Structure 1
Amino acid sequence: MDEPQNFEIFLVTVPGMEEALCAEALERGFAGALAVAGGVTFQGNWHDVWRANLCLRGATRVLARIGGFLAFHLAQLDKRCRKFPFGDLLRKDVPLRVQVTTKASKIYHAGAATQRIETALKDTHGLTLDPEATLVLKVRIDDNNVLFSLDTSGESLHKRGHKEAVGKAPMRETLAYLMLRQAGYTGTEPVVDPMCGSGTFVIEAAEIAAGLLPGRSRSFAFQDLANYDEAAFTAMKDVPLTVPTAQFYGSDRDAGAIRMATANAERAGVAGYTHFANYAAGELMPPEGPKGLVIVNPPYGARIGNKKLLYPLYGTLGQTMLTRFKGWRVALVTSEPSLAKATALPWKPLGPAIAHGGMKVWLWQTPPLR
C-alpha cells in the first residue's frame, strides 16, 4: 500500500477528560489535535503514533486508522478485505485478533463480518489469528463504511510498567495525570496525598517533575508491526531529565499501602523525591517549604465500606485542610457530592463528570485556602 504521509490517529481517553487530553496533545506538539467524544483525533504519521504511546500521560490507548472502504454486503466485505494491503503493516509471524462493531449498516451481524474478515486475513494475506493476541485490528462498520484501526498500544497505557502493587479501588495513572493537570499542577510545586494508597498521584507528580516519559519502561503493540524502526524509537526515548525543585508526599493509615507506595516509587525511579508515611489524614501536617497542591481520592462508600461512616472522615480531612494548609489548593475525587460538602471546603463550580471504575466521579477543587 502506498502509505499516506498522514492518516488519522485517535487517542482514547476516559469519558469526561477529552479536553484535558487534547490540551496535553497540543502541548506535546501534536498539531491540530481535536477533542471528540471518547478521545482526541489528529492527523499524523507512524512516528507520531510511536511518540504518542511513549510520551502522552493521559491517553488510554492510541489507534491508527489505517484505511477502509465501502461494503454493502458480506461478499463485498470479503472481496475488498482480500484486496486491502494488510501485508504492508501486519507480519505473518505476529498473531492478530479482530474486533468488529456494526452500526446502521446493511452488514448488521458483527459475528458474520468477523468470520469473513478473519478468513480473508488467513487465506489471502497469510496472517495468524489468535483470540488472545495482543495486536488488535479494530473494524468499525458504520453506515456501510468499513474502517480499519490498529490498536498500537497493546496493554492499556495506564500500565506504565512500575506499579506491581496496588490497593483497593486504585486510581489509574492516566486518570491521575489528567486530574493533576486539571488541578493546575505543572511539575514545579509540592504535592501531598493524605490517602495515597499505592502512591499513584504522588509518583505521577514526581515523574512529571523529573521529565520521565510515561512509556519508558514498557513495550507496545506497534513494535510488532512490519514498519517498526527500533533505532528511531530508541532515539525518541533519549530526552533530558531534570532534578525536581519540589518534593512529593503521600500518607495513609494503612501500613501495607505505604509499603506498596514506597516500592512502586523505587521501581519508577522517583524514590529520591517522594516521601511516604503511615498515619491517618487527621494527623497530617504540611511539609516545610512552598505551598502547593493537596490531591486525594478518598473512599466514596460506593465500593468500599458504608457511606454513612465516611462523613466524619471527610469532615476531619476538611478541618485539617482549613486549619493547617492555608495557601494550599485542594483537589478531591468523589462520586458523592454530600461527602465533598461535608469537608466544608470552599469548592469551585464543578467540571464535567468523569468515568472511573464503572461510576461517575467529579474532581472537586478549591482556590488557595485562606
Structure 2
Amino acid sequence: MEIIILHAPGIEKALEKELDKLGLTINDKSRGRIIVDTDLEGLYKAHIYLRTAERILLKMGTWKCHNFDQLFDGIKELNWSLAIDNTWNIKIDKVRSYRSEIKSSPITQKTAHKAILEALNCTEKTNNRKPANIRLYWDKDELLVGLDLTGDGLHKRGYREEAGKAPLRETLAAAMIIYSGWQPGYPIHDPFCGSGTILIEAALMDLNIAPGIKKTFTFEQMNFHEEDLWKKVKREARLQAKRELTSPLSGGDNYDKVLDTARLNAKKAGIGDQILFYKEDATKGEADFDEGYIITNPPYGERLQDKQKAEDLYRSLSQWNESYPSWRKVIITNNEKLEKLYNQQAHIKRYIQYGSLDVTLYQFN
C-alpha cells in the first residue's frame, strides 16, 4: 500500500531523515506531501514514531481528471471497501487545486461525496457514525485522492493541554531539533521556553519515547486493521523507552506562570521534573557547559503585536556570542532582518510555512 504523509513545507528534510530511520521508501514528493510505499506494520510505525509529520492518509488513487464526469467515475471505481463501508460518515475534508481545470468548489465536493456514497451503497450522512475524511489534491490536472488514517493531528501528543499566547507546534519543535544536529547527551537551553515544547520534544527523543504511543487513530476502526499486529508494534515501542535523561535540558522565561505551565506539560509528557525550568532574562544568561545548543522560538513582534520591541530584543541577543561562545544557536522567527539585528550571518537558513506565517529557521554554528 501507499500512504501520503503531510508535513509543513520546509521541514521535509527532517521528515526524510525519520523515514530513512524507519526504513520506509519514498515514492514521490510534492510541496507539503511525501508518498511512501509500505506494509501495514510500516503504516503503524509511521503513526507511532514520526515526530515531524502532521497527518497520514491512505493513497486511494491518482489519475488525470479534467472534468466532473472523470471525477465521479474515477472516485466511484476506487477500492473504498479496503478501509471503510457504509457505516462511516463520508466527508470531503479538503480540496486543493493547482494549475488544473477543476477548482475547489462546493460542486467538486458534492460530486466526490456522491460518488463515494454510491460506491459504498450507503445513504446520506447521519449522526453518530464514524467520520471518514477524504482529501483531494489536483496538480496539473492530476488528481490524488487520500483517506485520512490519523484523526486528531499527529502534533497533538497529549501533553500540552496548557499553552502560552503563541505556542510552537510540536512537529515544528521536533524539526528544529533534528535540523540542529543535536544528539542525546549534549545540553539544550531554551531562553524563551514558553510552554516547554522544544525541551519536551528533545526529552522525548532522548528517552526514545514514541510521540504517538498514547494516541488513538482512525485506522483502528478500518477494515484492514489487524489488532494483534498493532499491539505488537506498540509493545515494541514501549520496550524501547528509557526512564532517565542523558542530556541536560533547561528552559528560562520571565514569567512564573509560564514556567508553571511548562513544568505541568513536562509531567504530562511523562518526563517529570527532569527538565530544569527557571526564571531568566534571556539577554543575560550564561553557559553552564562548554558546548551545547540554544534552540529557541523568541517573540515575533507581529505575533505579539510589538514588532519594534521584538527587534530590540533580537539586537540584545548578540551577547550570546560572548556568553555562549562554543554553543550552536538555532532561532526561528518571521523577521527577515534577524541576521543584521543579531550581528551575525547564519550558516544555514531554512524557510518554513508555519500555519499562516512564513518563518525562517536560522542556524548559527
Q: Deviations over 1:95-132 (max 9, x none)?
A: 23114445566655743232233223334414463799
The aligned residue for residue 200 of structure 1 is: 197
Conserved in 2, the CA contact under 8 Å of 1:248 and 1:274?
Answer: yes
Report which stretch shifted further, 158-167 or 228-237: 228-237
> Tell me, what secondary structure is at the counterpart of 2:112?
helix
Q: Distance in 2 between matches of 1:112 and 1:89?
A: 25
Instruction: Please identify, of 100-109 and 161-170, the stretch whose mean Cα deviation from structure 2 is larger.
Output: 100-109
Residues in 1 aligned to 2:115 and 2:91: alpha-carbon distance in whole angstroms? 13
CA contact (8 A) 2:191 2:253 kept: yes
After superposition, the Cα gap between the structure-2 partners of 1:349 and 1:269, relative to the gap in structure 1 and judged at 3 Å, is same
| Distance change in 2, residues 1:230/1:290 (3 Å) | farther
Does 2:114 align with 1:115?
Answer: no
Counterpart for residue 305 of structure 2: 305
Q: 1:275 to 1:148 in 2, by over 3 A?
A: same
Q: Deviations over 1:27-67 (max 9, x none)?
A: 22113466532232322223222211211111111122122
In structure 2, relative to structure 1, the CA distance for the partners of 1:97 and 1:27 (3 Å cut) is same
Asked if the contact 1:202–1:250 (Cα under 8 Å) also holds between the matched residues in 2, the reply is yes
- Encode CA deviations 1:308-341: one digit per residue, 9 max, x unaligned: 223442233321x233223211111122233443
What corresponds to 2:279 in structure 1?
278
Aligned to 1:364: 362
The 10-residue stretch of structure 1 (74-83 or 334-343) with the greater mean CA deviation from structure 2: 74-83
Residue in 2 that maps onto 1:330: 329
Aligned to 2:10: 16
Distance between the aligned counterparts of 1:115 and 1:311, measured in 2?
48
1:317 aligns with 2:312: no
CA contact (8 A) 1:222 1:228 kept: yes
Instruction: Give the Cα–Cα distance (whole angstroms) in 1 for the partners of residues 223 and 68 of structure 2.
Output: 28
Corresponding residue for residue 3 of structure 1: none
Cα distance in 2 for residues equivalent to 1:130 and 1:59: 31
Letter in 2 for 1:301: G
1:25–1:33 CA contact under 8 A, matched in 2: no
Of stretches 189-198 and 107-116 in structure 1, the one that deviates more from structure 2 is 107-116
1:296 corresponding residue in structure 2: 296
The question of whether the paired residues in 2 share the 8 Å contact of 1:94 and 1:224 is answered with no
For 2:91, the equivalent position in structure 1 comes to: 97
Matched residue SS, 1:156: coil
**1:137 Cα offset (Å):** 1.3
Residue 181 of structure 1 aligns to a residue whose secondary structure is helix
Q: Is the contact made by 1:19 and 1:35 (CA closer than 8 Å) also made in structure 2?
A: no
| % same residue | 27
User: Quick one: distance in 2 between partners of 1:63 and 1:93?
Assistant: 19
The answer for unaligned runs of 5 or more in structure 1 is: 1-5
Determine helix, strand or coil for the equivalent of 2:120.
Answer: coil
TM-score (norm 2): 0.88
Contact 1:314 1:343 in 2 (8 A): yes
The alpha-carbon deviation at position 249 of structure 1 amounts to 0.5
Q: Report the more deviating stretch, 44-53 or 29-38.
A: 29-38
Q: For 1:115-154, what per-residue CA distance to the aligned partner results, in whole angstroms no more than 9, with x for missing partners?
A: 2332233344144637997531123455665432112122
How many residues in Structure 1 have an aligned counterpart in Structure 2? 358
